[in-house]
Structure 1
């Protein structure tokens, strides 16, 4: 069953669950939802594995990349099947708050 009632890694029923680990596309999708109106995204980058990013997440990944919230790894890959670490999630939140001039 996993941690904190998670049936699988990630977000269940469209809502984040405490203690659940999300995949990278999920982490890109949620912060950008309320962020779009606040800033004008730059041109998104491309990843060498962008064909593996699910269609439902593609727009959010492109926006988050264009805004500088997420970046590829040293090999230029996004790794959409990888789980986001706490450090990666914290860095995305930091970059988002920085773009909004909250920090």
Structure 2
């Protein structure tokens, strides 16, 4: 898994990160983001890229603190992300888990 390869690295070159997919709700404009690794209890490293390009940067962003109705876990995206929260989006790579 890509995230575990970078967990203990001090320097991460975005060109080394491959096989990523955007985890945000489907969108036609704006940058794409993929989780790389959790960095602290409240932050995570994310890679960002533009449509048609590979990963261009690695950013440490605060975790999204929002929880869904009746849920104990927070959204798995970064804070202030565009689109719906993770429990509101169908994952096309895991069709057996519909959005709630």
- What TM-score comes out, normalization by structure 1 length? 0.26
More helix as a share of residues: 1
Q: Which has the higher contact order (CA 8 A, sep 6+)?
A: 1
TM-score, normalised relative to structure 2: 0.26
Higher strand share: 2
